[in-house]
């Protein structure tokens, strides 16, 4: 077999492995109730419970943040994020967490925040000219 054929077969094998890995990561959103029923990572979308305590002390552990979140069904759970607290985290409209349940606590390894649009509360005025 020629060297170019071996390289081609290797590249095809790598492409298939990458496709399988990416396909396994495209999950749908779950609720906390769904997350308690499976023993794998899921994505849970919800809103930060702003009336509850947020714990982040970078001097003790810079990769530990805990807070409470309400999912789409309104169920509230404690979240432990194994990462630093994102900037403007408290201003976020929605959170998407990737992780799994550990008892009554959702342990997240990744978090995306949806921040409010800076144009949301502003009205855009269009100046029109009078034609005579």
What distance in Å separates the CA atoms of residue 73 and residue 31, rounded to the nearest whole number?
A: 7
**DSSP category for residue 3:** H
Supply 80's token pair: 């432990």
What confidence score (pLDDT) does residue 26 get? 52
Give the list of residues 6+ apart from residue 72 with CB closer than 8 angstroms, or none: 29, 31, 45, 46
pLDDT tens by residue, 109-124 = 999 988 776 555 554 5
Tell me the percentage of the chain whose pLDDT exceeds 90: 47
CATH class in words for 28-114: mainly beta
By the 8 A CB rule, do 65 and 54 touch? yes
By the 8 A CB rule, do 69 and 47 touch? yes
Give the list of residues 6+ apart from residue 50 with CB closer than 8 angstroms, or none: 90
Q: Which helix (H) or strand (E) holds 16?
A: helix 3-25
Residues counted in the chain: 132
Mean pLDDT computed over 77-81: 95
Q: What is the pTM of this model?
A: 0.67
């Amino acid at each position: 077999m020629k060297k170019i054929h071996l390289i081609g077969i290797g590249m095809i094998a790598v492409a298939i492995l990458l496709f399988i890995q990416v396909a396994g990561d495209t999950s749908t959103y779950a609720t906390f109730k769904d997350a308690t029923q499976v023993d794998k990572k899921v994505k849970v979308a919800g809103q930060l419970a702003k009336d509850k305590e947020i714990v982040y002390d970078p001097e003790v552990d810079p990769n530990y943040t805990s807070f409470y979140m309400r999912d789409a069904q309104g169920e509230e759970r404690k979240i432990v994020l194994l990462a630093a607290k994102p900037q403007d985290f408290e201003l976020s409209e929605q959170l998407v967490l990737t992780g799994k349940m550990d008892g009554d606590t959702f342990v997240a390894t990744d978090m995306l925040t949806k921040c409010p649009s800076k144009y949301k509360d502003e009205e855009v005025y269009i100046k029109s000219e009078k034609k005579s």
